[in-house]
Structure 1
Amino acid sequence: MTDTILSLRDVTLALDGNAGRVEILHGITLDLREGETLGLVGPSGSGKSSLLMVMGGLERASSGTVTAAGHDLSAMGEDSLARFRRNHMGVVFQSFHLIPTMTALENVATPLELAGRRDAFDRAAEELEAVGLGVRLDHYPAQLSGGEQQRVALARAAAPRPRILLADEPTGNLDGTTGEAIMDLLFGLRDRHGATLVLVTHAPELAERCDRIVRLVDGRVDGEAAAGAAA
Structure 2
Amino acid sequence: MSNPVLTLENAMLALDGNAGRIEILHGISLQVEAGETVGLVGPSGSGKSSLLMLMGGLERVTGGTVMALGNDLTQMSEDALARFRRDNMGVVFQSFHLIPTMTALENVATPLELAGVSDAFARAEAELATVGLAHRIGHYPSQMSGGEQQRVALARASVTRPRILLADEPTGNLDLANGDAIMDMLFDLRDRHGATLVLVTHSNALAERCDRVVRLVDGRIAQAGA
In 1: Cα distance, 2:225 partner to 2:9 partner:
19
1:123 alignment counterpart:
123
Superposition misfits of 4+ residues, deviation over 4 angstroms: none
Q: Take 2:41 and 2:146, find their aligned partners in 1: how far apart are those partners?
A: 24
Structure 2 letter corresponding to 1:139:
H
Number of corresponding residues = 226
Per-residue deviation, 1:7: 0.4
2:177 aligns to what? 177
Question: How many Å separate the matches in 2 of 1:79 and 1:196?
Answer: 23
**Structure 1 CA distance for aligned equivalents of residues 35 and 2 of structure 2:** 8
Partners of 1:225 and 1:89 in 2: CA distance: 25
Question: Structure 2 CA distance, aligned partners of 1:100 and 1:64?
Answer: 37
TM-score, normalised relative to structure 2 = 0.99
Two-structure CA RMSD over aligned residues (Å): 0.7
CA distance in 2, matches of 1:135, 1:3: 40
**2:3 paired with 1:3:** yes
CA 1:188–1:2: 2 relative to 1, 3 Å: farther
Structure 1 SS opposite 2:84: helix
Structure 2 SS opposite 1:99: coil
Does 2:225 match 1:225? yes
State the 1:160 CA deviation.
Answer: 0.5
* 1:168 lines up with 2:151 in the alignment: no
* Structure-1 separation of matches of 2:146 and 2:217: 31
Three-state SS of the structure 2 residue aligned to 1:100 is coil
2: CA distance, partners of 1:51 / 1:224? 14
2:153 is paired with a residue whose SS is helix
Deviations 1:21-73 (A, max 9, x none): 00000010000111100000000000000000000000000010100011100
SS of residue paired to 1:225: coil
Cα deviation, residue 207, structure 1: 0.5
Code of the residue aligned with 1:175 in structure 2: it is D
Question: Partner letter of residue 13 of structure 1?
Answer: L
Question: Where does residue 89 of structure 2 map in the other structure?
Answer: 89
Contiguous gaps of at least 5 residues in structure 2:
none
Task: Tell me the equivalent position of 2:201.
Answer: 201
Shift of 1:2: 5.1
Structure 1 match to 2:213:
213
**Distance in 1 (alpha carbons) for counterparts of 2:5 and 2:25:** 21
In 1, the alpha carbon distance for the partners of 2:215 and 2:5 equals 20
CA distance in 2, matches of 1:136, 1:202: 29
State the alpha-carbon separation in 1 of the partners of residues 100 and 201 from structure 2: 26
Relative to structure 1, the CA distance from residue 2 to residue 138 in structure 2 (aligned partners, 3 Å threshold; closer, same or farther) is: farther
Structure 1: gaps spanning 5 or more residues: 227-231
Identical positions, percent: 73
SS of 2:136's equivalent?
A: coil
Give the structure 1 partner of residue 154 of structure 2.
154
Task: Give how far 1:98 is off.
Answer: 0.7
